[in-house]
Structure 1
Amino acid sequence: MSATLPQDQPDHPKYGQNRTERKIYLIYDIFMIGIIIVNLFCLLSNAILMSNFAHWLFGMLQLDAILNFYRQELNPWVIITESWFISFLLIEFAVRWFIAIVRKHHQRWFFFPFIHWYELLAITPQLRFLRLLRAVVIGYRLHEMGHHVIPEKILKTLSFYYKLIMEELSDRVVMTVVDGVRHELNSSSTHRKIIHDLIDHHRQLFATTLAEVLQESLSTELKVQQNQISYQVGQVVNQAIEDTPELTQILRRLPIVGGVLEQRIQDIGQRLGENISRGLIQPFTQGSVQDPNQLFQHIADKISNINIDNQNLEKLVESAVYESLDAIEKQIQVKQWKIELEKYESARD
């Protein structure tokens, strides 16, 4: 573990403004990690040696004299040093708070104890295990600044178990919420109102989304197919003229010009059909996804404001809600930490 600062290390308010100050803060942080780990190790060892388990184990190993020596001679020193360490932590916390005020590390002078709440609680004997959290925070901060005081393997292991714990906790919370919603829908007589409120709350969003979808899909497709649609409509009009026997009979009675007029009327009819279809399609091809045209907006508003007091529609919405809850449960059952563990084991093999 090296205390050398990288040349490209960015300035940090905690580490001062020059290289000397940063090196002093760095050495101090490493010192704090060391004494916190030693303190917790001593307290843990003392708790074990003062327990009934230690009395049984040392008695079985016939080392009662060593255990008695520790309990009579060394245990009082552990208690005294713990008192000294608590006093040191109090003074150290107050000094750092004063430095934070002078250097204006935070926007308000009283923010410091709230930001470092775990340090304040760790001073009390009942919550001394939080001192390990402070050591981890210091180590992680140093690691981010380029000082690998924590071995990479240990850091990855801690990160893995942190993600595991957070994923399991979040999964339990989400499952509790999902079960609560499902129970409410199954047992409560007000679930119909809940579904109606859910739909009413999203009407505007549904209208906006539907208008954008219509503009993006229908408008684009109409632009592409406009000529083809116009041609087909013209063909339909042309065919309709041909299939009108009364008109054909009248034109054929006219000598010489009857056939010409019949052809011209068919051409005019086809052109008229094409122009009418283009005129009808044109309004639907205007606008953009960000600003849908008024026709699509009007259609979307009308659809979003439909009356939902319909049994089939309520069943449809209720089915969608239940399937959404089932999808959430299936997603929760996928354990990301297991996937990462399998990848790690596969890579190791």
Structure 2
Amino acid sequence: MFTINRENLRRSHQLFWFIVDFLMLGLLFLNILWIIFDSLYAVDVVRDMLFQYAQPFAEFYRPIHRNFIFYDLVFVWIFLTEFVIRWVYAIHSKLYGRWYFYPFLHWYDLLGCIPIGSYRFLRVLRVISIVYRLHKYQVIDFTQTRVYQFLRFYYEAFMEELSDRIVIKVLSGAQAEMTHGSPLIHRIQNEILLPRRDLLTQWLSEKVAETAQTGYIPNRGALRHYLENCVDHALTQNVELSRLRQVPMLGPQITETLEAAVGDIVAEVIHRILDDLASARNHAFIEDIVGTFLQETEAPGEGPSESERQIIQVVNEIIEALKKQLAIKRWRQEL
């Protein structure tokens, strides 16, 4: 059974309404059980069994069954009174934007008060709403009950099966589109990306400049030191410089001067490139790159080329791996 947090119940500012909720729960359970019993009593087989094995009770209940609607109206009157009181309270405390929102949001309460046929079983929704409200305010906790865990397990199993089948269907459709050739990629490039090439160039230029400023400028000294070490190491391993270093008197001086000059040149070139990327001067460079990748193309007529077929094959294998992963059912492992 669910547990009741008495501490939260005492500290709550809605203690009165929670007490009303518990009373209404009791009346709803009693009323629903009575409705179920009366429905069973209306069945000839059940009524005959009652007259056979419990005739005094069956005789006693016969007039009650005939006037069941009258007795049910007592419950309906209580439920409607509680509904009206809550509606007035909602208007007074301005719980909703308009005074007439409450009956629309609690339509099941009104329909459940209709004492005719299947409408009465809508009172089960009222039970669910009250239990959910008490659970929401941490007055009761029904997550540890076996019924809740049973329903939650099979609900999650159903949703996993349903979502996996939908995703697999979508992935299979994407594979079929790529295999048979689809103009979607060319339409995206020609109708969506190309008209916005200037916007993409501006955005990419700003992002490159921002990245270069935040990543390069604060580490300019460390980068120069790293480049000089790399150049020194590369020149040390060079065979020609090793031979030049063996020249008497001038060899060591020439190699040191050459190493320093090459290191400065490389570092200066790298710094100049990164300085340009970190400034507004990178716009023309980025525009050339974007223009190279975004060019108007025609949709393939006779089928994809060999390189495109290889790419499609790779994408298909990736999708197949995803489909195999989706085929693994976690709920079965938990079961």
The equivalent of 1:145 in structure 2 is 137
- How far residue 172 of structure 1 moved from its aligned partner, in angstroms, is 1.0
The equivalent of 1:75 in structure 2 is 65
The yes-or-no answer on 1:273 pairing with 2:262 is yes
The equivalent of 1:25 in structure 2 is 17
The yes-or-no answer on 1:98 pairing with 2:93 is no
Once the two structures are superposed, what CA deviation does each residue of 1:165-221 show, in whole Å capped at 9, x if it has no partner?
1552364145235414523642799862345567898997xx79x979x98xx989x
- How far residue 303 of structure 1 moved from its aligned partner, in angstroms, is 10
Query: Structure 1 residues 325 and 32 mapped into 2: Cα distance closer, same or farther (>3 Å)?
Result: farther
Query: Structure 1 residues 88 and 109 mapped into 2: Cα distance closer, same or farther (>3 Å)?
Result: same
Once residues 329 and 113 of structure 2 are traced to their aligned partners in structure 1, the CA distance between those partners, rounded to angstroms, is 40
Name the SS of the counterpart of 1:132 in structure 2: helix
CA contact (8 A) 1:229 1:277 kept: no
The equivalent of 1:320 in structure 2 is 315
Once residues 327 and 119 of structure 2 are traced to their aligned partners in structure 1, the CA distance between those partners, rounded to angstroms, is 33
| Runs of 5+ unmatched residues, structure 1 | 16-21, 253-257, 343-349
AA at the equivalent of 1:39 = N
Name the SS of the counterpart of 2:248 in structure 1: helix
AA at the equivalent of 1:54 = V
The yes-or-no answer on 1:89 pairing with 2:79 is yes
Query: Structure 1 residues 52 and 176 mapped into 2: Cα distance closer, same or farther (>3 Å)?
Result: farther
The equivalent of 2:293 in structure 1 is 305
Match of 2:126 among 129, 134, 140: 134
Name the SS of the counterpart of 1:192 in structure 2: coil
Query: Structure 1 residues 167 and 282 mapped into 2: Cα distance closer, same or farther (>3 Å)?
Result: farther
Once residues 300 and 82 of structure 1 are traced to their aligned partners in structure 2, the CA distance between those partners, rounded to angstroms, is 81
TM-score, normalised with respect to structure 1: 0.63
AA at the equivalent of 1:278 = A
Once residues 111 and 59 of structure 2 are traced to their aligned partners in structure 1, the CA distance between those partners, rounded to angstroms, is 33
The equivalent of 1:63 in structure 2 is 53
CA contact (8 A) 1:175 1:329 kept: no
Name the SS of the counterpart of 1:259 in structure 2: coil
Higher relative contact order (CA 8 A, sep 6+): 2
- How far residue 31 of structure 1 moved from its aligned partner, in angstroms, is 0.6
CA contact (8 A) 1:118 1:134 kept: yes
**Which deviates more from structure 2 when the two are superposed, residues 193-202 or residues 175-184?**
193-202
Identity over aligned pairs, percent: 16
CA RMSD of aligned residues (A): 5.0
Once the two structures are superposed, what CA deviation does each residue of 1:95-126 show, in whole Å capped at 9, x if it has no partner?
32222112211223233234334434433453
Alignment coverage as a number of residue pairs: 303
CA contact (8 A) 2:227 2:263 kept: no
CA contact (8 A) 1:234 1:271 kept: no
Query: Structure 1 residues 328 and 30 mapped into 2: Cα distance closer, same or farther (>3 Å)?
Result: farther
Query: Structure 1 residues 8 and 64 mapped into 2: Cα distance closer, same or farther (>3 Å)?
Result: closer
- How far residue 320 of structure 1 moved from its aligned partner, in angstroms, is 3.1
AA at the equivalent of 1:95 = I
- How far residue 33 of structure 1 moved from its aligned partner, in angstroms, is 0.6
Once the two structures are superposed, what CA deviation does each residue of 1:218-277 show, in whole Å capped at 9, x if it has no partner?
989x949534422234336x644567xxxx7xx99xxxxx73333322222222222223
CA contact (8 A) 2:90 2:102 kept: yes
Name the SS of the counterpart of 2:99 in structure 1: coil
Query: Structure 1 residues 88 and 232 mapped into 2: Cα distance closer, same or farther (>3 Å)?
Result: same
TM-score, normalised with respect to structure 2: 0.65
- How far residue 28 of structure 1 moved from its aligned partner, in angstroms, is 0.9
CA contact (8 A) 1:234 1:272 kept: no
The equivalent of 1:109 in structure 2 is 99
Query: Structure 1 residues 6 and 298 mapped into 2: Cα distance closer, same or farther (>3 Å)?
Result: same
| Runs of 5+ unmatched residues, structure 2 | none
The equivalent of 2:36 in structure 1 is 44
AA at the equivalent of 2:293 = N
